[in-house]
Amino acid sequence: MGYAALIAAFLFMTVPLWLSHKQRLGISKDIIVASIRSFVQLMAIGYIITFVFSLKSPVVFTLLILFMIIVAARTCAKRGGEFQHSFLIAFLAIVTAEMVSVLIWVSFEIVVYEAQYILPMSGMIIGSSMVAVSLTFDRLKREFDLTKELIMGKLALGATNRQASQDLIETTVKAALIPNVEAMKTIGLVQLPGMMTGAIIAGASPVIAVKYQLVILLTAFGNAAITSIMVSNMTYPAFFKQRMF
Protein backbone atom coordinates (compact mmCIF):
# COMPACT_ATOMS: atom_id res chain seq x y z
CA MET A 1 0.00 0.00 0.00
CA GLY A 2 1.41 3.36 -1.03
CA TYR A 3 1.03 6.67 0.76
CA ALA A 4 -1.43 7.87 -1.90
CA ALA A 5 -3.75 4.96 -1.10
CA LEU A 6 -3.36 5.63 2.61
CA ILE A 7 -4.27 9.28 2.19
CA ALA A 8 -7.26 8.26 0.07
CA ALA A 9 -8.55 6.32 3.07
CA PHE A 10 -9.11 9.66 4.78
CA LEU A 11 -12.04 10.15 2.40
CA PHE A 12 -14.03 8.13 4.92
CA MET A 13 -13.67 11.06 7.33
CA THR A 14 -15.70 13.31 5.02
CA VAL A 15 -18.92 11.61 6.18
CA PRO A 16 -18.59 12.43 9.91
CA LEU A 17 -17.26 15.89 9.03
CA TRP A 18 -20.26 16.56 6.80
CA LEU A 19 -22.65 15.28 9.49
CA SER A 20 -20.98 17.43 12.12
CA HIS A 21 -21.36 20.50 9.92
CA LYS A 22 -24.89 19.67 8.77
CA GLN A 23 -26.23 18.81 12.21
CA ARG A 24 -24.15 21.49 13.96
CA LEU A 25 -22.62 18.93 16.30
CA GLY A 26 -19.58 21.09 16.93
CA ILE A 27 -17.10 18.21 16.77
CA SER A 28 -15.48 18.94 13.40
CA LYS A 29 -12.29 20.17 15.05
CA ASP A 30 -12.12 17.09 17.28
CA ILE A 31 -12.57 14.81 14.26
CA ILE A 32 -9.80 16.54 12.31
CA VAL A 33 -7.41 16.58 15.27
CA ALA A 34 -8.14 12.92 16.08
CA SER A 35 -7.54 11.92 12.45
CA ILE A 36 -4.23 13.76 12.24
CA ARG A 37 -3.06 12.48 15.61
CA SER A 38 -3.89 8.88 14.75
CA PHE A 39 -1.97 9.19 11.47
CA VAL A 40 1.10 10.81 13.06
CA GLN A 41 1.15 8.50 16.09
CA LEU A 42 0.76 5.29 14.10
CA MET A 43 3.34 6.28 11.48
CA ALA A 44 5.75 7.27 14.24
CA ILE A 45 5.32 4.01 16.12
CA GLY A 46 5.74 2.13 12.85
CA TYR A 47 9.17 3.66 12.30
CA ILE A 48 10.10 3.26 15.97
CA ILE A 49 9.20 -0.44 15.95
CA THR A 50 11.14 -0.93 12.71
CA PHE A 51 14.18 0.60 14.42
CA VAL A 52 13.66 -1.56 17.53
CA PHE A 53 13.42 -4.69 15.37
CA SER A 54 16.73 -3.81 13.72
CA LEU A 55 18.48 -3.55 17.10
CA LYS A 56 17.47 -7.08 18.15
CA SER A 57 17.84 -6.02 21.78
CA PRO A 58 15.46 -7.44 24.42
CA VAL A 59 16.34 -4.54 26.72
CA VAL A 60 15.23 -1.92 24.20
CA PHE A 61 11.84 -3.44 23.37
CA THR A 62 11.23 -4.22 27.05
CA LEU A 63 11.73 -0.51 27.79
CA LEU A 64 9.30 0.32 24.98
CA ILE A 65 6.72 -1.99 26.56
CA LEU A 66 7.29 -0.28 29.92
CA PHE A 67 6.68 3.09 28.24
CA MET A 68 3.40 1.75 26.80
CA ILE A 69 2.34 0.59 30.27
CA ILE A 70 3.11 4.01 31.78
CA VAL A 71 1.04 5.76 29.10
CA ALA A 72 -1.83 3.31 29.66
CA ALA A 73 -1.67 3.82 33.44
CA ARG A 74 -1.73 7.62 33.04
CA THR A 75 -4.79 7.31 30.81
CA CYS A 76 -6.54 5.10 33.38
CA ALA A 77 -5.60 7.46 36.21
CA LYS A 78 -7.76 10.14 34.61
CA ARG A 79 -10.77 7.88 35.18
CA GLY A 80 -9.72 7.23 38.75
CA GLY A 81 -8.68 10.78 39.53
CA GLU A 82 -10.91 10.91 42.61
CA PHE A 83 -8.97 8.10 44.22
CA GLN A 84 -5.57 8.47 45.85
CA HIS A 85 -2.66 6.82 44.03
CA SER A 86 -4.82 6.00 41.00
CA PHE A 87 -1.80 6.04 38.67
CA LEU A 88 0.18 3.67 40.89
CA ILE A 89 -2.81 1.33 41.22
CA ALA A 90 -3.35 1.26 37.46
CA PHE A 91 0.37 0.79 36.79
CA LEU A 92 0.72 -2.12 39.23
CA ALA A 93 -2.36 -3.85 37.83
CA ILE A 94 -1.31 -3.50 34.18
CA VAL A 95 2.34 -4.40 34.74
CA THR A 96 1.34 -7.47 36.76
CA ALA A 97 -1.01 -8.66 34.03
CA GLU A 98 1.68 -8.06 31.39
CA MET A 99 4.31 -9.97 33.36
CA VAL A 100 1.98 -12.93 33.88
CA SER A 101 1.10 -12.93 30.17
CA VAL A 102 4.70 -12.86 28.93
CA LEU A 103 5.74 -15.48 31.48
CA ILE A 104 3.06 -17.89 30.24
CA TRP A 105 3.76 -17.16 26.56
CA VAL A 106 7.48 -17.80 26.91
CA SER A 107 7.31 -20.66 29.44
CA PHE A 108 4.93 -22.69 27.28
CA GLU A 109 6.76 -21.71 24.08
CA ILE A 110 3.71 -20.00 22.63
CA VAL A 111 6.11 -17.34 21.34
CA VAL A 112 9.79 -16.60 21.83
CA TYR A 113 10.91 -13.47 23.65
CA GLU A 114 11.62 -11.45 20.54
CA ALA A 115 10.33 -8.02 19.55
CA GLN A 116 8.55 -9.35 16.46
CA TYR A 117 6.15 -11.31 18.67
CA ILE A 118 6.18 -9.73 22.12
CA LEU A 119 5.76 -6.08 21.06
CA PRO A 120 2.56 -6.36 18.99
CA MET A 121 1.01 -8.93 21.31
CA SER A 122 1.85 -6.86 24.39
CA GLY A 123 0.42 -3.77 22.73
CA MET A 124 -2.94 -5.46 22.28
CA ILE A 125 -2.91 -6.89 25.79
CA ILE A 126 -1.92 -3.59 27.41
CA GLY A 127 -4.71 -1.85 25.49
CA SER A 128 -7.21 -4.44 26.69
CA SER A 129 -5.97 -4.09 30.28
CA MET A 130 -6.26 -0.31 30.02
CA VAL A 131 -9.93 -0.61 29.08
CA ALA A 132 -10.57 -3.03 31.97
CA VAL A 133 -8.88 -0.73 34.50
CA SER A 134 -10.76 2.34 33.24
CA LEU A 135 -14.07 0.46 33.42
CA THR A 136 -13.23 -0.69 36.94
CA PHE A 137 -12.47 2.81 38.20
CA ASP A 138 -15.62 4.19 36.59
CA ARG A 139 -17.89 1.39 37.78
CA LEU A 140 -16.50 1.46 41.33
CA LYS A 141 -17.40 5.12 41.71
CA ARG A 142 -20.88 4.69 40.22
CA GLU A 143 -21.67 1.60 42.28
CA PHE A 144 -20.48 3.32 45.44
CA ASP A 145 -22.72 6.33 44.76
CA LEU A 146 -25.67 3.96 44.30
CA THR A 147 -25.00 1.73 47.32
CA LYS A 148 -23.27 3.95 49.88
CA GLU A 149 -26.32 3.98 52.17
CA LEU A 150 -26.36 0.17 52.12
CA ILE A 151 -22.61 0.14 52.85
CA MET A 152 -23.09 2.53 55.76
CA GLY A 153 -25.85 0.29 57.08
CA LYS A 154 -23.57 -2.74 56.98
CA LEU A 155 -20.86 -0.80 58.80
CA ALA A 156 -23.37 0.22 61.47
CA LEU A 157 -24.19 -3.47 62.00
CA GLY A 158 -20.53 -4.26 62.64
CA ALA A 159 -19.27 -5.28 59.21
CA THR A 160 -15.67 -4.57 58.30
CA ASN A 161 -14.84 -2.25 55.41
CA ARG A 162 -14.08 -5.31 53.28
CA GLN A 163 -17.33 -7.07 54.16
CA ALA A 164 -19.37 -3.94 53.52
CA SER A 165 -17.72 -3.50 50.11
CA GLN A 166 -17.85 -7.13 48.95
CA ASP A 167 -20.98 -6.75 46.80
CA LEU A 168 -19.56 -3.54 45.34
CA ILE A 169 -16.34 -5.31 44.33
CA GLU A 170 -18.14 -8.32 42.83
CA THR A 171 -20.45 -6.13 40.75
CA THR A 172 -17.53 -4.03 39.52
CA VAL A 173 -15.41 -7.02 38.48
CA LYS A 174 -18.37 -8.57 36.68
CA ALA A 175 -18.99 -5.33 34.76
CA ALA A 176 -15.32 -5.09 33.76
CA LEU A 177 -15.38 -8.62 32.35
CA ILE A 178 -18.59 -8.27 30.32
CA PRO A 179 -16.96 -6.66 27.23
CA ASN A 180 -14.51 -9.57 26.97
CA VAL A 181 -17.26 -12.15 27.46
CA GLU A 182 -19.40 -10.59 24.73
CA ALA A 183 -16.40 -10.32 22.39
CA MET A 184 -15.63 -14.02 22.86
CA LYS A 185 -19.23 -14.96 22.09
CA THR A 186 -19.31 -13.17 18.74
CA ILE A 187 -15.71 -13.42 17.52
CA GLY A 188 -15.48 -14.91 14.05
CA LEU A 189 -19.22 -14.43 13.52
CA VAL A 190 -19.68 -10.68 13.75
CA GLN A 191 -16.09 -9.57 13.14
CA LEU A 192 -12.64 -10.82 12.24
CA PRO A 193 -10.37 -9.47 14.98
CA GLY A 194 -7.38 -7.25 14.32
CA MET A 195 -4.44 -9.60 14.79
CA MET A 196 -6.05 -12.33 12.71
CA THR A 197 -6.95 -9.93 9.91
CA GLY A 198 -3.47 -8.38 9.88
CA ALA A 199 -1.76 -11.76 9.76
CA ILE A 200 -3.95 -12.94 6.88
CA ILE A 201 -3.33 -9.73 4.92
CA ALA A 202 0.40 -10.22 5.51
CA GLY A 203 0.14 -13.66 3.91
CA ALA A 204 0.05 -15.96 6.94
CA SER A 205 -2.03 -19.13 6.96
CA PRO A 206 -5.56 -18.40 8.24
CA VAL A 207 -5.24 -21.33 10.67
CA ILE A 208 -2.01 -19.93 12.14
CA ALA A 209 -3.61 -16.48 12.31
CA VAL A 210 -6.56 -17.97 14.22
CA LYS A 211 -4.23 -19.66 16.72
CA TYR A 212 -2.45 -16.41 17.51
CA GLN A 213 -5.76 -14.60 17.78
CA LEU A 214 -7.03 -17.17 20.27
CA VAL A 215 -3.91 -16.62 22.36
CA ILE A 216 -4.60 -12.89 22.39
CA LEU A 217 -8.30 -13.36 23.13
CA LEU A 218 -7.75 -15.71 26.06
CA THR A 219 -4.87 -13.64 27.42
CA ALA A 220 -6.98 -10.48 27.24
CA PHE A 221 -9.78 -12.16 29.18
CA GLY A 222 -7.36 -13.36 31.85
CA ASN A 223 -5.78 -9.92 32.07
CA ALA A 224 -9.17 -8.24 32.43
CA ALA A 225 -9.83 -10.47 35.43
CA ILE A 226 -6.41 -9.80 36.95
CA THR A 227 -6.56 -6.04 36.50
CA SER A 228 -10.18 -5.57 37.59
CA ILE A 229 -9.67 -7.67 40.74
CA MET A 230 -6.43 -5.88 41.63
CA VAL A 231 -7.83 -2.40 41.00
CA SER A 232 -11.05 -3.11 42.92
CA ASN A 233 -9.20 -4.45 45.95
CA MET A 234 -6.62 -1.66 45.97
CA THR A 235 -9.16 1.11 45.39
CA TYR A 236 -12.15 0.38 47.62
CA PRO A 237 -10.30 1.41 50.84
CA ALA A 238 -10.18 4.95 49.42
CA PHE A 239 -13.93 5.25 50.03
CA PHE A 240 -13.24 4.98 53.75
CA LYS A 241 -9.80 6.62 54.03
CA GLN A 242 -10.87 9.64 51.99
CA ARG A 243 -14.31 9.73 53.64
CA MET A 244 -16.08 9.72 50.29
CA PHE A 245 -19.50 9.43 51.94
> What are the structural domain ranges in the chain?
1-55, 57-241
Q: Measure CA 234 to chain center.
A: 18
What's the predicted TM-score (pTM) here? 0.85
- Torsion, Cα 239 241 243 244, to 10 degrees, reads -30
pLDDT in tens, the chain (245 residues): 677 777 788 888 888 889 888 888 888 899 899 989 998 998 898 899 899 889 989 999 999 999 999 999 999 998 888 888 999 999 999 999 999 999 999 999 999 999 989 999 999 999 999 999 999 999 999 998 898 899 989 988 999 999 999 999 999 999 999 988 888 887 776 666 777 777 787 787 888 888 988 999 999 999 999 999 999 999 998 888 766 55
Q: Which of 11, 17, 67 is nearest to 44 (CA)?
A: 67
- Torsion, Cα 101 105 107 112, to 10 degrees, reads -130
